Structure 1
Amino acid sequence: MTTHTTVRALLTAAPIALATATTPAACHVPDHTTVTPAAGTAPTATAVDVAGARRQLAGLRVAPADTGAHYSRADWPHWSIVAGDCDARETVLRNQGRGVTTGAHCTVTAGTWTSPYDGTTVTRPGALDIDHMVPLAEAARSGTRGWTRAQRERYPNDTRLVLVAVTAKSNRSKGDQDPAHWLPARDRCGYVAHWVAVKATYGMTVDTAEHDAIASVLTHC
């Protein structure tokens, strides 16, 4: 793991006041369970609350991408310890897989996972990437310039809403692109609803092309 910082308290306590300088006071924080697979289940096609996703999208502030914001991945501490001896990656693998077994220090040794982006079944944990639904670089240009270090650590270690176990191929294909430039091969309705829920929860902005691409997907759901 790359860091030994414990963020369990950050993830279990009441939500931090996120990006207060840019987030409307009345910003709705959705129930994480509406878009996150239950522990021990694979994240397959999502039953989407389309009307709810549209409401959340309408509540997001539309603004140009903050491309002038400094971004360094090192400024967003990730793979922190979040539960017992388990870091964020290990926790996601345990929660989103089936028949998962672990060894010493919470190391995941075996299991079965279904990548929600391409439907591929994976049985080797090392073959999986853990994706941030809204990539860190995208988060950095989405109205979070004023976030504190604690906020920048809470986000990339949110195993309930933000992190998804996917195939390396699909994750590399996605990169740091928003839905105007990349959509998964399957369950696009579930994907954009999840994307919107993350941005709503964390008070992030959307740019015009991103907003319109998401709205277009939702019209066909």
Structure 2
Amino acid sequence: MKSFLLASVLAVVASAIPMPAPAPPGIPSKSTAQTQLNALTVKANYDNGGYNRDLFPHWNTVSGACNTRETVLKRDGTNVVTNSACASTSGTWYSPFDGATWTAASDVDIDHMVPLKNAWISGAYQWTAAKRTQFANDLNTPQLWAVTDNVNQAKSDKSPDSWKPPLTSFYCTYAKSWVAVKYSYGLSITSAEKSALTSMINTC
């Protein structure tokens, strides 16, 4: 009887604990992120005026009918139902940038943690088309996030010294993810960017 009551109490407690927000793979620890940040090259961005979003082919097919966007929606959503074309017909999405919850996939954008233009001006202008495609569809680093559409649009191509997520409690994860992506791809950062990232990592 005691074990039954204990199991019941534990079940109630577990149900009361909020589930952690889904997150992409590869988010480093604070100490690893700090080490990676210190290893990044600090220099001014180089904008040669040649950036075009089409230079980063994105939402490529991942498997079957599912492209990268649809794959991230399934990965980061809860109880996501898709149709034969892999489009999400129902589900729930929690946006870690602002804490909002959505039940329509049309309200959710897939954010590139390091925006495509920021990547371009911090080194990707030298990449091959294949590497830019990999970057724009990367499911193996914390590069792609399902977030509220207008929050993603407000971020646009800004770096952390110009834009931060509305939720200050997400600063730590945001900065660690940004650093991990830049480190993984050997992209540079500006001095202002490094200062902002350092401050955000210090909130961890």
TM class by smaller structure: 0.7 to 0.9
Alignment partner, residue 154 of structure 1: 134
- Distance in structure 1 (CA, Å) of the matches to 2:126 and 2:49: 10
The one-character-per-residue Cα deviations of 1:154-191 (angstroms, maximum 9, x if unpaired) are: 11111232111100121011110000011102210100
- Distance in structure 2 (CA, Å) of the matches to 1:69 and 1:143: 13
Please point out which of 84, 90, 105 is paired with 1:125: 105
Does 1:214 pair with 2:193? no
- Distance in structure 1 (CA, Å) of the matches to 2:174 and 2:69: 20
What RMSD in Å do the two structures reach over aligned CA positions? 1.7
Alignment partner, residue 22 of structure 2: 43
Give the counterpart letter for 2:126 in structure 1: G
> Could you say what secondary structure the match of 1:55 adopts?
helix
Alignment partner, residue 18 of structure 1: none
Where do 1:70-219 residues align within 5 Å? 70-161=50-141, 162-186=143-167, 187-219=170-202
Alignment partner, residue 21 of structure 1: none
> Could you say what secondary structure the match of 2:164 adopts?
coil
Larger Rg: 2
1:43–1:115 CA contact under 8 A, matched in 2: no
Aligned residue pairs total: 180
1:42–1:98 CA contact under 8 A, matched in 2: no
Structure 2: gaps spanning 5 or more residues: 1-19
- Distance in structure 2 (CA, Å) of the matches to 1:69 and 1:54: 32
Give the counterpart letter for 2:171 in structure 1: R
1:76–1:156 CA contact under 8 A, matched in 2: yes
- Distance in structure 1 (CA, Å) of the matches to 2:68 and 2:28: 26
Deviation, 1:69, is 5.0
2:160–2:197 CA contact under 8 A, matched in 1: yes
| Overall identity of the aligned pairs, in % | 42
For normalisation by structure 2, the TM-score amounts to: 0.84
The one-character-per-residue Cα deviations of 1:39-96 (angstroms, maximum 9, x if unpaired) are: xx7437xx97211110010011111111225100011101110122210000000000
1:109–1:125 CA contact under 8 A, matched in 2: yes
Structure 1: gaps spanning 5 or more residues: 1-40
- Distance in structure 1 (CA, Å) of the matches to 2:192 and 2:21: 31
